[in-house]
């Protein structure tokens, strides 16, 4: 750290009127804390160049690329099959990779400890991050959805409502895994692990290609990864207007529960 060089002349010789610091402790309303925390978390994500690249630019590029280039045996119109998988990728980018990296560096900079030392209850500390992630996911869905529509995507209208809880479930499942990685490892390691997992799941987890187009064992495995499960269930609702099968939902719940439980035990403040 550099030493201080900023001029504080304006305040030199400051005398404070008596009572300026008279104690008046007290906790603000929890919803006020939750709102302030959520807003700042969301702002920080949307302002961060690399996060926007990961959360929006790459999914947009893949949406356009996979819909126009003829990769894999996908039924026409390609965009109908691509949009659900790109939306699943967007959820993974924000809730897992983005969350893990942000948490890793927030811990490095001592912010988790700093906030733990305030009146902010623990549930607000977690809730603010979850809500901010949901806000960002909602924005991604809107932007990617509009882009998809412009490219000729025709979603099954009856499936739109059913997709909403899937986005929430996917965000929670990937978010729990993100907290596990970001809350336990050193910031540099988090950066490496979170990006590597993202890349592997993109290629082999049923996102770039649907699980059934992946070779043998990899395709079978993809059904049991959160990426494949989310893509599959979004495909069922958005492309076919059907309810998602029980298996993908259970896969997401299981990943979220297991990583969440482990994260609860291993997450460190710094």
Partner 1 sequence: MSPDADDSPALDVRGLNKRFGDTVAVANLDLRMERGHVLALLGPNGAGKTTTVETCEGFLRPDSGEVRVLGVDPVTHGERLRPRIGVMPQGGGAYPGARAAEMLELIASCSAHPLDPAWLLDTLGLTAAGRTPYKRLSGGQQQRLSLACALVGRPELVFLDEPTAGMDPQARRLVWELIAALRADGVSVLLTTHLMDEAETLADRVVIVDHGRAVAEGTAAELTAPHDGRQELRFRSQPALDLDLLLTALPEDCTASEIRAGEYVIHGEIDPQTVSTVTAWCARQDVLAHELRVDRRSLEDVFLDLTGRELRS
Tell the smallest beta-carbon distance from residue 33 to partner 1 (Å): 5
Q: Give CA–CA dist 10/154, Å, rounded.
A: 62
Q: Give CA–CA dist 192/209, Å, rounded.
A: 24
Query: How many residues lie near partner 1 (CB under 8 A)?
Result: 51
Tell the smallest beta-carbon distance from residue 182 to partner 1 (Å): 14
- CB-nearer residue toward partner 1: 105 or 224: 105
Q: Give CA–CA dist 80/87, Å, rounded.
A: 12
Q: Give CA–CA dist 71/189, Å, rounded.
A: 33
Q: Which of residues 206-235 bind partner 1 (CB under 8 A)?
A: none
Q: Which of residues 4, 75, 76, 215 is near partner 1 by CB under 8 A?
A: 4
- CB-nearer residue toward partner 1: 104 or 244: 104
Tell the smallest beta-carbon distance from residue 221 to partner 1 (Å): 36
- CB-nearer residue toward partner 1: 133 or 237: 133
Task: Using DSSP, state whether 266 is helix, strand or coil.
Answer: helix
CA dihedral sign of residues 153, 131, 204, 163: negative
- CB-nearer residue toward partner 1: 21 or 265: 21
Site for partner 1 contains 28 (CB under 8 A): yes
CB 101 within 8 A of CB 183: no
Q: Which of residues 61-120 bind partner 1 (CB under 8 A)?
A: 105-106, 108-111, 113-114, 116-120
Q: Scanning the structure block, which residue is given the tokens 């691509």? A: 82
Residues 6+ apart with CB under 8 A from 33: 27, 119, 120, 121, 124, 128
Task: Using DSSP, state whether 268 is helix, strand or coil.
Answer: coil
Site for partner 1 contains 48 (CB under 8 A): yes
DSSP line for 169-230: HHHHHHHHHHHHHHTTS-HHHHHHHHHHHHHHHHHHTTSSS-GGGS-HHHHHHHTTSHHHHH
- Per CB under 8 A, the segment of 11-19, 92-100, 156-164, 167-175 that binds partner 1 is 11-19
Tell the smallest beta-carbon distance from residue 55 to partner 1 (Å): 15
Tell the smallest beta-carbon distance from residue 159 to partner 1 (Å): 37
- Per CB under 8 A, the segment of 8-16, 202-210, 221-229, 237-245 that binds partner 1 is 8-16
CB 168 within 8 A of CB 134: yes
Q: Scanning the structure block, which residue is given the tokens 């979850």? A: 130
Site for partner 1 contains 265 (CB under 8 A): no
Tell the smallest beta-carbon distance from residue 168 to partner 1 (Å): 25
Q: Which residues bind partner 1 (CB under 8 A)?
A: 1-12, 14-16, 18-28, 32-33, 36-37, 40, 43-44, 47-48, 105-106, 108-111, 113-114, 116-122, 269
């Amino acid at each position: 750290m550099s030493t201080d060089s900023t001029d504080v002349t304006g305040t030199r010789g400051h005398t404070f009127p008596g009572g300026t610091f008279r104690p008046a402790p007290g906790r603000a309303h929890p919803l006020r804390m939750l709102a302030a925390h959520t807003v700042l978390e969301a702002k920080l994500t949307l302002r961060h160049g690399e996060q926007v690249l990961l959360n929006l630019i790459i999914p947009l590029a893949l949406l356009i690329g996979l819909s126009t280039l003829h990769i894999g045996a996908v039924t026409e119109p390609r965009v109908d099959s691509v949009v659900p998988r790109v939306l699943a990728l967007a959820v993974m980018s924000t809730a897992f990779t983005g969350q893990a990296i942000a948490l890793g560096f927030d811990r490095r900079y001592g912010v988790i400890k700093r906030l733990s030392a305030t009146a902010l209850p623990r549930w607000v500390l977690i809730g603010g991050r979850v809500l901010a992630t949901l806000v960002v996911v909602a924005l991604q869905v809107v932007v990617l959805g509009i882009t998809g529509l412009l490219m000729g995507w025709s979603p099954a209208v009856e499936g739109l409502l059913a997709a909403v809880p899937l986005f929430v479930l996917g965000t929670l499942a990937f978010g729990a895994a993100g907290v596990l990685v970001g809350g336990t490892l050193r910031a540099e390691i988090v950066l490496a692990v979170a990006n590597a997992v993202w890349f592997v799941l993109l290629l082999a987890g049923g996102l770039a290609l649907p699980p059934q187009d992946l070779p043998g064992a990899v395709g079978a495995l993809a059904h049991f990864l959160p990426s494949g499960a989310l893509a599959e269930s979004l495909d069922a609702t958005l492309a076919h207007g059907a309810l998602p099968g029980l298996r993908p939902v259970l896969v997401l719940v299981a990943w979220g529960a297991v990583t969440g439980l482990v994260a609860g035990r291993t997450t460190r403040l710094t």
